[in-house]
Amino acid sequence: MGFKIASLQDLTFKHPVKIAGSEIECEFRVLDDDSLAKLAERGDTPFIQAVLKSWDGVEDDDGSPAPCGPAQIAALCRYAIARQAILKAYWQGLQQAAEGN
């Protein structure tokens, strides 16, 4: 069976994200280059909101699992340490996904 370009359209990958001594597991969307370039022009938070599909290991103040929605992602992205960790994980995970790992 051959490779189909259309198979990339809904591709996601999971990669760990280390933030301030804690580790969460994030699922990221693979986007085409045009979309990535447009998002990069808008800044880190819109970029992260577009590529971050889900997470495990993030909790609300009461200890219950936090949903991975726009408001929660925006709250996390107010901190440069979190933005940088997520972006680093995205690019590392994307490279590994491209290599088939």
Indicate the pTM of the whole model: 0.89
| Sequence-distant contacts of 86-91: CB under 8 A, at least 24 apart | 86/17, 86/19, 86/26, 86/48, 86/52, 87/44, 87/47, 87/48, 89/15, 89/16, 89/17, 89/18, 89/26, 89/28, 90/15, 90/26, 90/28, 90/48, 90/51, 90/52
Q: What is the mean pLDDT of the chain?
A: 92
The tens digit of pLDDT for each residue in 43-78 reads 999 999 999 999 999 999 999 999 999 999 999 999
